[in-house]
Structure 1
Amino acid sequence: MTANTIKVVCSNCNLRELCMPVGLSSEQMDRIDEMVATRRKIKRGGALFRNGEAFTSLYAIRTGFFKTSVATEDGRDQVTGFQMAGEIIGLDGIVNDQHSCDAIALEDAEVCVMPYSKLEELSREVNALQHHVHKVMSREIVREHGVMLLLGSMRAEERLAAFLLNLVQRLHARGFSQSELILRMTREEIGSYLGLKLETVSRTFSKFADDGVIEVKQRHVRILDTHKLQSMINSQQCAA
């Protein structure tokens, strides 16, 4: 898993507005291009980083899909999140200078490597970048609060509805359909994330399909009734 030597040019990237601040001058953009020096390719099933590894960089996902997970005391993997193109991954390592979870590619993926020491240095000079990093961190905190709400107070149907709506909203922000998505994760991984058993996830998918809310063909999901999905959720805020 050596770093790819392809030169990254953030200024030409179609995901720039998702993972970088907008409104930078060409000189500031050049500085960021220098900071984000390399890309790294991760094969499906491969680890971008592992729990306990030294933290050196944040990663902007260019293509592909990841899951983050932690090992529970009884040895099971607990999925803590799913990340897609245009999102930043690796923030867990900042607090103790080492990663506290595993980041596994759910499909062949490519990330842009942002060395954290260079990011900190540049953030002191470019206020917009510092503000953006703070926004990314804040979004992560809000996401975790949303997940706690999801796991603490919602029934199975509400959890899955919130999950599907959030996923399709995030994909739509990247130019994909508002109503169709391909699930890169397994039913079991969805269950681990939502605090549900595999059988419950499968049963709830089937119920949604029987009720005409969604259409499911293996990993392909088409949302037929967005309003009905939204009406299942007590809170207006979906977990990320």
Structure 2
Amino acid sequence: MPSGLSPVDYQRLDAMISSTRFVRRGETLFRSGDPFQSLYALRSGCFKTVVMHREGHEQVTGFHLAAEPLGFDGVSTDRHACDAIALEDSVVCIVPFDLLELLCREVKAVQHHVHRMMCGEIVRESNLMMLLGTMTAEQRVAAFLLNLSTRMKARGYSPAQFVLRMTREEIGSYLGLKIETVSRMFSRLQKAGVIDARGKDVRILDQARLEAV
């Protein structure tokens, strides 16, 4: 929700987001090529977005946490460009895009909020390109953990201790690394006393050293 809305505008926005959907772990919210009709606000849970290469290889393009948007990939072409798959049982709020566009034209605060979210998606994709093009394997894993830490903190959770909802293989796909390399980088950071990783439970022990990687 954007800040600074009048009670009437809050009611209009709330009425527009009245529909929710439960998505079980492993189920797909939308698929590449599906008609674009709505944006989704992730109320709880976690999703990955993936694209499929011609040879059937899956490429993870993003991980989405609670309170983050899904579906902006469909705005430009009116069709979704990726699959959104739940990594755990999740609940999304459905935001019909035509109603959102109408509200944006009438309420500047909502328009500004949507523009900020869209710009955030652009920055995220730019950061991923930099991550894949300029960083070592260890730096990629460190940057991934720091990014998750920042997002957890923004949502009121511990920035130093969290559970990874994605597998090492999915992390590797996102970072452009083999699963063996991802596991080796986690082990290296753990031996150095920077993190404590036990399965999917991760604790950042030395934030400064992780940033320095």
Q: TM-score range by the shorter chain?
A: over 0.9
State the AA in 2 paired with 1:49: F
Residue deviations 1:103-148, cap 9 Å, x none? 0000000000000000000110000000111000001111111000
Match of 2:148 in 1: 167
* 1:178 Cα deviation after fit: 1.8
Q: Distance in 2 between matches of 1:160 and 1:39?
A: 34
Q: Counterpart of 1:168 in 2: which secondary structure?
A: helix
Q: Distance in 2 between matches of 1:23 and 1:53?
A: 34
Q: Counterpart of 1:128 in 2: which secondary structure?
A: helix
Match of 1:16 in 2: none
Q: Counterpart of 1:138 in 2: which secondary structure?
A: helix
Residue ranges of structure 1 left out of the alignment (5+ in a row): 1-19, 233-240
Report the TM-score, using the length of structure 2 for normalisation.
0.99
Q: Counterpart of 1:139 in 2: which secondary structure?
A: helix
* 1:72 Cα deviation after fit: 1.2
Q: Counterpart of 2:35 in 1: which secondary structure?
A: coil
Match of 1:127 in 2: 108
Match of 2:21 in 1: 40
1:186 to 167, 170, 183: 167
* Residues 1:68 and 2:46 aligned together: no
* 1:73 Cα deviation after fit: 2.1
* 1:37 Cα deviation after fit: 2.4
Percent identity for Structure 1 against Structure 2: 56
Give the 4+ runs in structure 1 shifted more than 2 A.
Answer: none
Residue deviations 1:135-182, cap 9 Å, x none? 000011111110000000000000000000000110111111120010
* Residues 1:51 and 2:64 aligned together: no
Match of 1:13 in 2: none
State the AA in 1 paired with 2:113: H
2:211 to 220, 225, 230: 230
Residue ranges of structure 2 left out of the alignment (5+ in a row): none
Q: Distance in 2 between matches of 1:231 and 1:73?
A: 38
Match of 1:236 in 2: none
Q: Kindly report which structure 2 residues correspond to 1:106-121, keeping only aligned pairs within 5 A, or say none.
A: 106-121=87-102
State the AA in 2 paired with 1:81: G
Q: Distance in 2 between matches of 1:96 and 1:114?
A: 18
State the AA in 2 paired with 1:106: L
* 1:74 Cα deviation after fit: 1.6
2:72 to 74, 79, 91: 91
1:202 to 183, 199, 202: 183
* 1:33 Cα deviation after fit: 1.2
- State the aligned residue count: 213
State the AA in 2 paired with 1:183: L
* 1:35 Cα deviation after fit: 1.0
Q: Distance in 1 between matches of 2:125 and 2:73?
A: 12
Report the TM-score, using the length of structure 1 for normalisation.
0.88
2:128 to 113, 131, 147: 147
Q: Distance in 1 between matches of 2:79 and 2:43?
A: 23
